Structure 1
Amino acid sequence: MTKTVRVFLLLLVVSSACSSFKKTTVTAPPAPDTTAVADLGIIEDSVEEVAVPPRPAEPVYPYRAEEPRTFDLIHTRLEVSFDWAKQYLHGEAELTLSPWFYPQSTLALDARGFDLHSVQLITDTSERPLTYDYDGEKITIQLERSYARTDTFQVMIVYTAKPNELPEGGSAAITSDKGLYFINPLGTDPDKPQQIWTQGETQGSRCWFPTIDQPNERCTQEMYITVDDRFKTLSNGSLIYSQSNADGTRTDYWSQELPHAPYLFMMAVGEFAVVEDEWRDLDVNYYVEPKYAAHAKAVFGDTPAMMEFFSQKLGVDYPWAKYAQVVVREYVSGAMENTSASVFMDDLQLTTRETLDTDWDFIVAHELFHQWFGDLVTCESWSNLALNEGFANYSEYLWAEHEHGRDAADYSGLSEKMQYLSEAQTKQVPIIRYHYADREDMFDSHSYAKAGRVIHMLRKYVGDEAFFESLRTYLTRYQFQSVEINNLRLVFEEVTGQDLNWFFNQWFLQPGHPQLRVQHTFSGDSLRVKVWQEQDTTQSPVFRLPLALEVWMGDQPLELPIEIEKSYQEFTFRLPSAPNLVLFDAEQQLLGTVEHQKTTDELIFQYLHSDKFEPRYEALDQLQSGTNRPQIADMMERALHDPFWALREQALNYFSNVDEASFAAIRPTIRQLALDDTVSSVRATALETLASFENPADQSLFREALQDRSYMVIAAALTAYVESGASDVVQVVQPFQKEDNEHIVNFLADYYAQEAQPENFTWFQKQLATRPAQMRYLLAQYLGQYLMNVPDTTLQQEGIDLLASLARADANEYVRLSSYQALGLLVETSDAVAPLRRQIKEEEASERLKRLYEFMP
């Protein structure tokens, strides 16, 4: 599962080249001589622990145990058809079960909001009705006798599922929990296709078929899906056959022969184009709307290469009968890793040209890696969710490293670290936690981003060979089983021969992260490094941190191992001369914060000599405001040619803040980047940098950039041209007004909001009716600004009514939130807005949104 929050982040991953520098690793003191480091040694001192003000404790929540196993669900056979008008599913479920260990005479099944028509025991010779109780959540069935664990029996349940009649639920990550979704069910919206799709995680499967809806359960599966003949279907496993029916419908029979958890059951129905691909001898297909068929491989085409890479890297081949990826409308999350058939939000429907600006490989890799971590081996409880999501997040790093180089991977890693640290400002809990308010709370940056970074540290600690051998053993030993964190630890201990309790305890089972303050000084022949752990140790551990310092003597780096395990430590090294740079955490793998003051000269040296992304990024970032030093400008100019695109962008940001005289010398280089850089986001940033100086001489370049293949660049050029004050802006913008690319739409929304012409209101109406959730989220904000500026009061009221309808009824929580915020801009424009917002807040069914609304003016 990819968190919904990622819908609103566009992460661009492109090719990069890594600088390489020879590095000498010092593992023992070398013999003294006159040319090398002399008499290298470490002296370690400890002093009193530093007092840190405590932070408020996290609330105490109940213990969440793994669900007890009373029955083993062996097989599920489903026959389903649909009432589109009522948005009902008509189903027949045949379940094969056996008691887990103790004899059982009562069977409880999860089933939310069904109409039950019959419950029967199926034998070879008869179908006998069974007595049952149903409370709308569980069917409690009285079996006709007590069954022993050596017995197997079958029950059949005929039912109607009514997901739209269920109460509102969900989380920030998965914004709805009704399991089964009908999109444009009557076909009345010409801008949307008719679709049906499912979302099982965490407990949505029980909303469309009866089951034991827990992650520690698993079964094989058959599904017969009856639909109008115009629709395609997709489910887990293989399509065995399709049968035409006399009434114009068709029944597709899908079979999943290997067991998996019920939350991974899936179904999708729609008028999809199926774009065929393959990996080895397996079908790899992409289900998209027909107009995107020619472009599907531009988005998903790396999938076979990923399957090969992950299979080789893990030592375990992709385990399922096929792999399909389907894009659906109005999805309630970013994506979902259903076994052999992942579902994606409609943001992934792009043209080939649009993929120049937006690379979705990270989300494709994430859901694919789940086919091993989550589907083949499944967390036994949501407390252990990170065993699914942490590894899936880490796959994004692995793929970026393999395909684009370490700079790209470390850029991804820094994004993950910052995502976790942002959440940690208000929430610090263990990654693996058995106490929580609601299972949906587990879908946070701890389970995803922090877990992925911790897995990276584990890899760096044990080394690549042991890391991947441990993963191979883990996947092989626990395939088709459910696991907890200790299963992973024990495998790593078995492979490495080391006790790793300390690592797993402090990183997975305790909250927080190290917050380090580092100082270094050189005197005589000694380098002294002081390290303080300044996190609140009443609630977080004093971390054990096996790290290394990278000490640069001229152009030669020395790697000096250290181990931090106290609140305060000092490390002393004898060196022949003062180092040019001391870089803490040589591998740049630590999850935490490090405050390490460096001089300007040290930061410049750091950028010019480090072969890793984060130190170069840190140097550029910290020197952004250092405009008074020629050496800084020289470094930034060199960074404009950095092999990694994100650092070229960082340097461009520096030059947008220098004075006009300083900018004049660098202008030709930036103009060249705007036209020729291989990465569209760099070209766009170069245009923005040029625009910040409002030089009329650049207008012709902005016009030239409108011919770029990248929509991102065109949008930047349009913005720059508008801001340049050119007299023909209206004529230049006009040809782009019918473009439907998100970058152009975003530009137009901003442009129209500022111009506030009444005739542009219909444009906002159309965009808000047809765009994916991410764009509606932004468009609602722009509409609010537009309505603030437009002079027509009648039009203002129409716009207020439109925002109110979105705030009340949009299927996506974030769009409702954005629309409610946009109405807040209009409180002083219309007396009716304040009571309208109060009414919307009272009517809102989502408790999350209600809580957020309490903090909004």
Structure 2
Amino acid sequence: MNHRFLSIVGLAASMAFASGCNTNKAVVDAKAKAPAAGISTEAPADTIPVWASKKYKFNPSRTKEHDLLHTMLRVRFDWEKQYLKGSAELTLKPYFYPQDTLVLDAKGMDIHSVSLMRGNDATPLTYGYDGQKLSIKLNKTYTRDEKYTVEVIYTAKPNELVTGGSDAITSDKGLYFINPLGEEANKPRQIWTQGETEANSAWFPTIDAPNERMTQDIYVTVDPKFTTLSNGAFVYSRQNADGTKTDYWKQELPHAPYLATLVVGEYAVVKDKWRDKEVNYYVEPAYKETAKKIFGNTPAMMEFFSQKLGVAYPWAKYSQVVVRDFVSGAMENTSASTFMEALQLNERELLDKSWDGIIAHELFHQWFGDYVTTESWANLPLNEAFANYSEYLWAEHKYGADEAAYLHVDELGQYLSEAEGKREPLIRYHYKDREDMFDSHSYAKGGRVLHMLRKLVGDDAWWASLNLYLTRNKFSDVEVAELRMAFEDVTGQDLMWFFDQWFMKPGHPELKVEHSYANGRLQLQVQQVQDSAYAPVYRLPLQVAVWAGGKKQLHSIVVDKAEQTFSLAVEAQPQAVLFDVEQQVLGEVQHAKTDQELLYQFQNARQFIPKMEALAKLEEKVTEPQVRTMYISALKDDFWAVRSMAVNTLSSLKEGDAAAVESLIQNIATRDKKGSVRADAILALAGRNGAKYQQLFQNAMNDSSYQVTAAAILAYAGTGASDTKEKLARFDKEENEDIVLSLATYYAVQGGPEKFDWFMKNIKSANGGELYYMLQSFGAYLASNSTTNTPEVINMLGDMAKNHRLYYVRAAAYQALMVMSEKEEVQALLEQIRASEKDERLLEMYGQ
């Protein structure tokens, strides 16, 4: 979910709260607005911090008894029953030791037969099946030099599985039928798969482990109106006598079983190209005209990554497909990435939003995760940290240093937020569930650690090391030591210290920095104050920038003790001191600075993060002339996030130059080139003197940007204008989520019974974060419109609270039901919901 969406919804939540609504605000990226400055203290000796690393059972990589060489699938579907009827021919050989038994992962299937194949001849084999594992007695003991092929005829029944999931991948049933009977209006019929972590074995028998690799053929039989997509190259489509068609997809290079994919639906296929390879975008027909604007940077990304890595994109083609109700944000299936429906944008939405980050993320996985794959989920950062960091690399290349730094701070905020309750090593073999690996450690912290590694060795060595890592380990599975050895072999350095403290140990450095000047020397005192019982004393090579006499000097230091003092030669009293000038260290830094130093830093550092630090630390002094002047200059900054922060802070001025500042904000509200900044300015004006700007808000409701229109709706409503309902009614049919959520905030307290159908329609069509916020507003609406507390509403909310795949949506539905808790039937329903809930987070919230 993007930053601007959360900001507008955050304001909506605040307005609703002020009106008496029980609206909870989701995570707002406050940590992305300024560098973290908090310093932790050591825990008392007799307590264990809540975030301390947990020691669960050891989770090794899967033992390789057999080597799966090739999988050939023939599949067709029963849409009514939501079954897959399949035939799987698996070619294998013993990995090293002789074997007479083959055990396959096969979850929740009906197994009809198992045979040994010799050409077209099938010899039945004895097998046992427990619903999870298919144990096959082979016809003899095979050695590692002998291949054999088994055929399994089966029916997959994914909806009959007991499923789990995680925050990152909310369901693990492998195969999904979307609107299978065509009964849901405005939703296409689709079938798609999601294999990570070990869910593909819910739709075909396999050895479902990341350290296995196979080539594959997939023959999929469907109605001719459907388009199919799978890994590798499309070979042919054959018309069948029964009126169906069979599409044949061939994956000639080996990949892990969890990366196999199959998608079926009615798609517009928009063709593109990179070098001599097909690049295709599969979207719903309504988005055919904008597909290239959404995904169109893909060929440029492929070229950029191929050149930098020195390894050309390795697969036969690259396709990207959008599916409905996806259980994750996106998935890097080999040569065929899947994306959530939020990527489908119309022309107007494209003015505000770009999905380049997630597109780059899944593309980089084609090297890091697909070409070279983690050998176990304990080593997941070898996949996800690289994909995460690719977002930074692309932003830096395409959009510049400030945009990349903005992502950088956001990643730090995500990790530090999680670190308040959880601190684990990046590479962790002790975990409760493999799904727990998909967290802000593996993604956000991992990406930041890779950035530090890049800064440590330098760009030339960074790219050369990645080239060696990829070429040495192509089409194989790896652990973190192999990444370390690639960097050591290129640089000639022993990097065990870096990998040990950042990959193998939990926590992060927490630094307290002070500086003083006397007799031509700058004394820089650095303390590492993190709890040494739970985190190491870090070795941190970094640079310090010192401005003196209007000139900038750089000093290289290595922080490697709990307390250190560095004495640096400086000719005059420093005007500013910037610790870790590249802002690359992952951690918390508290560096005391004078107001004058911060003012000088803002004007001279010319980097996003130091500017934001100055703005954040001087925010409470905005009424002082020099600080106010700094903020006014920030309104003209080249980077949008700096302008936004300046707008939001200056809007609080109530004296002095308040009128002049208000005029500047008014100008930004109508003229800033960035829609999100215009939206911030409109909300700022609404908070100052909304009635004065009623006409401006009315005009802004016609802005080209949805974000601006959404802000204007809230602002106009806040004026108390008598025609508010009339003005807002023209947006009732709008489907854009920014607009819908803005209306929901107003209708929650001012809508009346006539808006019941509007709420029900939008709740039924919403997904994910939008649905969460809709339910929050709906709860407030129900509280003020008791006539709408109907059995239909109770049943709908009860079903969501029990069964929705997203835990936070279940929580929001439960909260909405609480509004009606005086009803006996609702009390009974709430008790049922609590009894059926398995998620520990919700059980804690429910007091269970």
| CA distance, structure 2, for counterparts of residue 7 and residue 355 of structure 1 | 13
Is the CA contact (8 Å cut-off) linking 2:622 and 2:650 kept in structure 1? Answer: no
Percent identity reads 53
Matched, 1:282 2:277: yes
Residue equivalent to 1:132? 127
Cα distance between partner residues in 2 of 1:798 and 1:225? 40
2:789 is the counterpart of 1:809:
no
- Structure-2 residue corresponding to 1:301: 296
Which residue pairs with 2:326 in the alignment?
A: 331
CA displacement 1:513-552 (0-9 Å, x = unmatched): 0000011111232211111111111111000111111111
Structure 1 residue aligned with 2:97: 102
Question: Are the counterparts in 2 of residues 787 and 796 from structure 1 also a CA contact under 8 Å?
Answer: no
Query: Which residue is equivalent to 1:254?
Result: 249
Q: Hey, what's the Cα distance between the residues in 2 that align with 1:311 and 1:185? A: 40
- Structure 1 unaligned blocks of 5 or more: 1-5, 13-49
Cα deviation per residue 1:791-842 (whole Å; 9 max; x = unaligned)?
42x5465433332222123343332222123323444x64554442221121
CA contact (8 A) 2:415 2:441 kept: yes
2: CA distance, partners of 1:634 / 1:278? 50
Tell me, yes or no, if structure 1 residue 421 matches structure 2 residue 416. yes
Summarize the Cα distance change of 1:11–1:465 in structure 2 as closer, same or farther, 3 Å threshold: farther
| Structure 2 Cα separation of the partners of residues 660 and 801 of structure 1 | 53
**Divergent runs of 4+, >6 A:** none
Measured in 1, the distance between the counterparts of 2:757 and 2:796 equals 11
Check if 1:626 corresponds to 2:626: no
Match of 2:340 among 340, 345, 362: 345
Q: CA deviation at 1:772?
A: 2.5
C-alpha separation in 1, matches of 2:92 and 2:4: 44
Q: Is the 8 A contact 2:232 2:249 kept in 1?
A: yes
CA displacement, residues 170-189 of structure 1 (integer Å, 9 cap, x when unaligned): 11211111000011111111
Which residue is equivalent to 1:32? none
Counterpart CA distance in 2 for 1:318 and 1:222 is 21
- Distance (whole Å) between structure 1 residues aligned to residue 380 and residue 439 of structure 2: 10
Shift of 1:382: 0.3
Q: CA deviation at 1:691?
A: 1.1
Structure 2 CA distance for partners of 1:448 and 1:728, relative to 1, 3 Å: same
Query: Structure 1 residues 9 and 512, CA, compared in 2 at 3 Å: closer, same or farther?
Result: farther
Q: 1:125 to 1:307 in 2, by over 3 A?
A: closer
1:548 and 1:562 in contact (8 A); partners too: yes
Tell me which of 154, 159, 163 is aligned to 2:158.
163
2:707 corresponds in structure 1 to 712
Aligned pairs (5 A) from 1:653-664: 653-659=648-654, 661-664=656-659
1:504 equivalent to 2:499? Answer: yes
Structure 2 unaligned residues grouped into runs of 5+: 8-40
Distance 1:170 1:130 in 2: 34
CA contact (8 A) 1:101 1:149 kept: yes
Using the alignment, how far apart are the partners of 1:317 and 1:789 within structure 2?
Answer: 60
Q: Does residue 1:851 correspond to 2:843, yes or no?
A: yes
Aligned partners of 2:808, 2:249: CA distance in 1, in Å?
Answer: 35
Residues 593-628 of structure 1: per-residue CA shift (max 9 Å, x gap): 001111111111111111211111111111111133
Q: Give the equivalent residue in structure 1 for 2:588.
A: 593
Counterpart of 2:246 in structure 1: which amino acid? T
Q: 1:735 to 1:314 in 2, by over 3 A?
A: same
Report SS of the residue matched to 1:136: coil
Alignment of 1:178-217 (within 5 A): 178-217=173-212
Change (3 A) 1:689 1:850: closer
In 2 relative to 1, CA 823–7 (structure 1 residues): closer, same or farther, beyond 3 Å?
farther
- Distance (Å, rounded) in 1 between the aligned partners of 2:790 and 2:693: 37
- Asked if structure 2 preserves the Cα contact closer than 8 Å seen for 1:623 and 1:632, the reply is yes
Residues 299 and 360 in structure 1, CA contact (< 8 A), matched pair in contact too: yes
Alpha-carbon spacing, 1:852–1:662, altered in 2? closer, same or farther (3 Å): farther
1:740 pairs with 730, 735, 740, which one? 735
**Range that drifts further, 630-639 or 279-288:** 279-288
What is aligned with 1:824?
A: 818
Corresponding position: 1:87 with 2:82: yes
SS at match of 2:735: coil
1:525 and 1:336 mapped to 2: Cα distance? 57
Give, in whole Å, the separation in 2 of the partners of 1:660 and 1:596.
31
C-alpha distance in 1 between matches for 2:121 and 2:136: 18
1:562-711 paired onto structure 2 within 5 Å: 562-659=557-654, 661-711=656-706
Given that 1:690 and 1:698 are in contact with CA atoms closer than 8 Å, whether structure 2 keeps it comes out as: yes
Partner of residue 800, structure 1: 794
Alpha-carbon distance in 2 for matches of 1:448, 1:102 = 37
Aligned to 2:653, what secondary structure does the other structure show?
A: coil
Normalised to the residue count of structure 2, the TM-score between the two structures is: 0.93
Q: Deviations over 1:428-462 (max 9, x none)?
A: 01000111111111111110000000000000010
Task: Using the TM superposition, give the Cα deviation of residue 11 of structure 1 relative to its aligned residue in structure 2, in angstroms.
Answer: 8.7
- State the AA in 2 paired with 1:362: G
Pairing partner for 1:482 from 477, 482, 486: 477
- Match status 1:780 vs 2:775: yes
Contact 2:380 2:427 in 1 (8 A): yes
Structure 1 window deviating more from structure 2 (271-280 vs 499-508): it is: 271-280
Equivalent in the alignment of 1:70: 65
| Distance (whole Å) between structure 2 residues aligned to residue 424 and residue 52 of structure 1 | 15
Please report how far the alpha carbon of residue 650 of structure 1 lies from its aligned counterpart in structure 2 after TM superposition.
Answer: 0.5
**Shift in Å, 1:850:** 4.4
Contact 2:622 2:631 in 1 (8 A): no
- RMSD of aligned Cα (Å): 1.7
The answer (yes or no) to whether the contact 2:228–2:262 under 8 Å persists in 1 is: yes
Please give the alpha-carbon distance, in whole angstroms, between the structure 2 residues aligned to 1:740 and 1:51. Answer: 50
DSSP-derived class of the 1:582 partner: strand
Q: Distance in 2 between matches of 1:834 and 1:125?
A: 62
TM-score (norm 1): 0.92
Q: CA 1:531–1:790 in structure 2 vs 1: closer, same or farther (change >3 Å)?
A: same
CA contact (8 A) 2:91 2:148 kept: yes
* Conserved? CA contact 2:732–2:758, under 8 Å: no
Q: 2:145, 2:796 → 1: CA distance?
A: 62
For the residues of structure 1 that align with 2:628 and 2:198, how far apart are their CA atoms? Answer: 56
| Partner amino acid, structure 2, of 1:749 | A
Return closer, same or farther for 1:53/1:9 CA change in 2, 3 Å cut-off. farther
Cα distance in 2 for partners of 1:222, 1:89 equals: 17
